[in-house]
Structure 1
Amino acid sequence: MVDEWIANGDVGKLEQLVLDGRGYLLKLATSKINAIHKAVEDGDVRRVKSLIDREQLALARDSYGR
């Protein structure tokens, strides 16, 4: 459900998720993005490949816009 909303860019549904007090569900998605960034920083290509299951994740930015 949340993955589909993220993939489709359905900001309205994601905002409502947070407003309903279920923002913790988004943490799972951002945790994966953080893990990808860490693997890139560490130069762990194998881990990066295993974590990226959608092209959009390869383009995800962190809170600093990197």
Structure 2
Amino acid sequence: MIGILLSVLCIVLPMNSSNIRQWLKAGDLEKLEDVIIDGQGQKLLKESSADDKTRAFLRSVPDRISKMDAIHKVVEEGDLRQTKNLLDRRKYAMSRDKNGVSLLHKAVMNGRTEVAEYLASNYPEILNLTDAVSKHN
């Protein structure tokens, strides 16, 4: 379900600078977090906000990007234990890297069958997630 929603979000509300500015102004932290989950967190690095909560969120962006990078790295390496540890929020399973590649596709492309099976069985919504590798869903 989350995968479908994120895919729809990307179609209906593209993560362009205009929408990002609107989300910053509105203090919509959920949509701003989706920018990071979608692999586009770098778009938030130079942004600012008058809102305290949004400013605090923006200060956390580099750490959040690092966490997404770490998750993608352990999936690519096939480290199932670390994958389980780092996926401490369901939403993280829906993440893409900066090139638009999802965790599941990264696991499959690198022959990490055990990790791919874990992701598919524990996060079935990931099966509907499209990325730069597979745009057919």
TM-score, with length taken from structure 1: 0.69
**1:30 maps to which residue?**
65
Q: Distance in 1 between matches of 2:75 and 2:63?
A: 19
Higher-Rg member (1/2)? 2
Gaps of 5+ in 1: none
Gaps of 5+ in 2: 1-28, 36-43, 50-54, 102-137
Q: Distance in 2 between matches of 1:63 and 1:24?
A: 19
**Structure 1 counterpart of 2:47, which letter?**
V
**What is the count of residue pairs matched by the alignment?**
56
State the shift of 1:55 in Å: 1.0
Please list every run of at least 4 consecutive aligned residues from structure 1 whose deviation after the TM superposition is greater than 4 angstroms: 20-24
**1:50 maps to which residue?**
85
Partner SS state of residue 100, structure 2: coil
Give the root-mean-square deviation of aligned CA atoms: 2.6
Are residues 1:18 and 2:53 paired?
Answer: no
Give the % identical residues.
Answer: 34
